[in-house]
A = this chain, B = another copy of it.
């Protein structure tokens, strides 16, 4: 398997299966001298972890990170930061029923085809548990760029959409409810909807929106590594993501140039921001905003046909403790990947 690293200068490499000894990773390229706020890292970990509220999976995983290197007397030393997140709640027997079975819309089948066999315990490497390592790397990236503010939030759950423009939202409300939707009224409806879905033994998708403020002009490289192209890849690499759009996005494709162009103010800011804070792949200092679509979790508590590795169709009922809706826990992951992308381009931009 290739592709377990992300970034060029702020480079994150992760390892770990959902039911192995531990997850973890290495952050190579973090600059020296950053006084780390370990509590802030734990806060982001807690926002991602299972069992945090009634509308997410009830698995108990403490998800505590242990730093093994690259930090001395509380500060980054510039050397690689190695860290592990022990797996403390492995119940491998929960997964024995999928050893020879391919669950619909999971990676089981393609792993067996590609690698010849797989660690069938709980999704192995394809488990979203891998994203815990991303949250660690993202939390440190945020501290590298203290002036940049990244606000991710849930903007839709299934058919329920928050239509309010982000400029009218109060981001301080994001953490006020378990859905992580800053509009409390919408949040309540979404929460109710998720509870219903869970009762049905079903799951539902959603959208995470993200707004990034105070980005300096000049981040991003103009051809293949455009800022929005890396953000898109970063988001699409998160489990269950099906789409990414920034600025005007898909709705921009319906517009005319005379409507879509962002006219300048004398100071270089723009009157409108359909560009989404990026022009030609480079940040222009305006807010960056984008939306990330998540499909419904594939494991449902209903009986569905699966395929076994002999080619037989067999009914299977989901077991274990799974999320009825992934977006509330995806919010810190979206933020983490955004922070990693920005940290990388920030370092690249220092070379000019």
Shortest CB-to-CB span from A163 to chain B, Å, is 14
Which of A207-251 touch B at CB < 8 Å? Answer: 207, 217-218, 221-226, 228-230, 232-234, 236-237, 239, 242-250
Chain A residues within 8 Å of chain B by Cβ, number: 146
Shortest CB-to-CB span from A302 to chain B, Å, is 6
Do B229 and A77 touch (CB < 8 A)? Answer: no
Shortest CB-to-CB span from A20 to chain B, Å, is 5
Check A306 for interface membership: any CB of B closer than 8 A.
yes
Binds B, one of A40-48, A54-62, A108-116, A173-181: A108-116
Do A105 and B275 touch (CB < 8 A)? Answer: yes
Which of A59-112 touch B at CB < 8 Å? Answer: 66-70, 72, 75, 77-82, 84, 102, 104-107, 109-111
Do A255 and B223 touch (CB < 8 A)? Answer: no
In the bound complex, CA of A350 to CA of B274 (Å)? 34
Check A320 for interface membership: any CB of B closer than 8 A.
no
Do B296 and A3 touch (CB < 8 A)? Answer: no
Check A183 for interface membership: any CB of B closer than 8 A.
no
Do B226 and A237 touch (CB < 8 A)? Answer: yes
Known: A221-B3, A282-B107. Contact between A252 and B311, CB under 8 A? no
Do B218 and A114 touch (CB < 8 A)? Answer: yes
In the bound complex, CA of A207 to CA of B254 (Å)? 9
Known: A158-B255, A254-B205, A300-B258. Contact between A221 and B2, CB under 8 A? yes
Do B258 and A302 touch (CB < 8 A)? Answer: yes
In the bound complex, CA of A82 to CA of B228 (Å)? 26
What sequence of 0s and 1s flags, for each residue 249-278 of chain A, a beta carbon within 8 Å of any chain B beta carbon? 110111111111111111110100011100
Check A204 for interface membership: any CB of B closer than 8 A.
yes
Residue of B nearest to A85 (CB): B68
Residue of B nearest to A297 (CB): B257
Known: A4-B223, A21-B66. Contact between A28 and B9, CB under 8 A? no
Do A26 and B2 touch (CB < 8 A)? Answer: no
Known: A224-B3, A250-B250. Contact between A110 and B284, CB under 8 A? yes
**With a CB–CB cut-off of 8 A, which chain B residues contact A203?**
256-258
Check A141 for interface membership: any CB of B closer than 8 A.
no
Check A124 for interface membership: any CB of B closer than 8 A.
yes
Known: A33-B117, A311-B267. Contact between A205 and B20, CB under 8 A? no
Question: Which positions in A face B, CB cutoff 8 Å?
Answer: 1-6, 8-9, 11, 13-17, 20-26, 28-29, 31-33, 66-70, 72, 75, 77-82, 84, 102, 104-107, 109-111, 113-119, 124-126, 130, 156, 158-159, 197, 200, 202-207, 217-218, 221-226, 228-230, 232-234, 236-237, 239, 242-250, 252-268, 270, 274-276, 279-284, 291, 293-300, 302, 304-307, 311-313, 347-352
